[in-house]
A = this chain, B = another copy of it.
């Protein structure tokens, strides 16, 4: 097969491989098979992707000389979602990102000028490892105002995106083979991060009505997980919101079983009806919750700013991990964000963004209503979690969709147990309405040819 052909040097190092389409024809196999083979070869360092133009053969060192002694970490790392998102298609329903044209780009140039006027040496100084103190104070006031809970700026740690926050937690609090509890389904890059740290993973289901709290307690009692990573508000991918009563019981259980709760709160401002219930950390009285809030995603993803609220006793451990990870996030980005965050434009932007995203969600739902695919309409967030009807195979659907230049994320990517899934995640935030309609039409067509 492809692997043998590469190993026997049918192509030279750094030579471009034929396209998926060509190879599928040539080898008389399905395109998805070729796509999967490429993914596997990429994982094994035998091929690499260049500027999204195609796959190239890696130079020979890894497979041969180092074959008996792999140079990689004990716990092989992967990032499945990021691999799929880099596929070259016209209609990406894989991106839980906001369409750049919905973001307040034109204002930022002015804020940046202001930042340079106010802090002429902003580029010649490091920020403190824990983050700029003005930004931390501003965020502390914001949390007090919006969540009604006192948070000291001393409990805040600024990170380069929520992904770094998750990574710092995994680095700081996990030994190999420690048990981590995850929702099922769960955010794919978080699964990869905890696995990459050598964690043993147990799961509890999350559905429209939240958790089965008795199952949560049983899992905590039985497996004594070190931490439970949750995304309880407009959950990715399901859109579920865990009700307040469960949030309260969850922090009680966390305290009783000494399980640290890692609350990843990504979409609280993207609601379509009423505001969601307050975050789990506001119910916490025993310092059992680390709260991760990504602000950038729907303001300026390019700035890469997120904040963590940490129990005081854990703060210095996380600050040390941050200092070893990158010595602090860039000061310029923190100052630019601060000035936008403090302006009135933020609220106006959110108001517009909620309307724009709700319309896109409705466009997607309208197109899907012509099928027998099923979903629970989410009250917020960026994704539909769609259950395919019996007879639709997700892998076959993905292959057929890729042929029509459409990509979506198979449900299995979000399953910490790696089980098959009859769900798929469709993000409605990245494409404009007409492209969204066209993307869904092509997807449905792929499904019709497939079932």
Binding site for B on A (CB under 8 A): 13-14, 42-43, 45, 48, 50-51, 58-62, 65-66, 69, 71-74, 77-79, 82, 97-98, 100, 103, 105-106, 108-109, 112-113, 116, 120-127, 129, 133, 152, 154, 159-161, 163-164, 167, 171-176, 189, 192-193, 196, 258, 260, 286-287, 300-304, 311-317, 320-321, 323-333, 336
A120/B133 contact (C-beta < 8 A), A48-B154, A154-B50, A332-B303 known? no
Give the chain B neighbours of A312 by CB distance below 8 A. 13-14, 48, 58-59, 61
Partner of A82, one of B161, B189, B323: B323
Partner of A313, one of B59, B74, B116: B59
Taking a contact as CB atoms under 8 Å apart, the answer to whether B258 and A302 are in contact is no
Interface contacts beyond A78-B320, A112-B113: sample of 8 additional A-B pairs, CB < 8 Å, sorted by A: A72-B173, A82-B129, A109-B113, A112-B112, A112-B116, A124-B300, A159-B326, A160-B330
Taking a contact as CB atoms under 8 Å apart, the answer to whether B301 and A124 are in contact is yes
The winner among A61, A98, A313 for most chain B CB atoms within 10 A is A313
Q: Which residue of B lies closest to A331 (CB)?
A: B302
Cα of A109 to Cα of B196 in the assembled complex, Å? 40
A163/B324 contact (C-beta < 8 A), A51-B133, A103-B124, A124-B302 known? yes
A-B contact pairs, 20 of them (CB 8 A): A14-B152, A45-B314, A62-B313, A71-B260, A77-B320, A79-B323, A108-B123, A122-B302, A123-B301, A123-B336, A161-B327, A163-B323, A163-B325, A163-B326, A164-B327, A167-B325, A302-B332, A303-B330, A326-B326, A333-B333
Give the chain B neighbours of A326 by CB distance below 8 A. 159-161, 163-164, 167, 304, 325-326
Q: Which residue of B lies closest to A47 (CB)?
A: B316
Taking a contact as CB atoms under 8 Å apart, the answer to whether B323 and A71 are in contact is no
Taking a contact as CB atoms under 8 Å apart, the answer to whether A71 and B317 are in contact is yes
Task: For the complex formed, measure the closest distance between the CB of A85 and the CB atoms of chain B, giving whole angstroms.
Answer: 10
Copies of this protein, total: 2
> Top 10 nearest A-B pairs by Cβ distance?
A62-B313, A100-B124, A74-B175, A123-B302, A103-B124, A109-B116, A123-B300, A164-B326, A61-B313, A160-B326
Cα of A219 to Cα of B130 in the assembled complex, Å? 38
Taking a contact as CB atoms under 8 Å apart, the answer to whether A313 and B122 are in contact is no
Taking a contact as CB atoms under 8 Å apart, the answer to whether A189 and B324 are in contact is yes
Taking a contact as CB atoms under 8 Å apart, the answer to whether B72 and A315 are in contact is no
Taking a contact as CB atoms under 8 Å apart, the answer to whether B317 and A72 are in contact is yes
Taking a contact as CB atoms under 8 Å apart, the answer to whether A160 and B160 are in contact is yes
The winner among A59, A74, A324 for most chain B CB atoms within 10 A is A324
Give the chain B neighbours of A163 by CB distance below 8 A. 323-327
Taking a contact as CB atoms under 8 Å apart, the answer to whether A302 and B323 are in contact is no
Taking a contact as CB atoms under 8 Å apart, the answer to whether A125 and B100 are in contact is yes
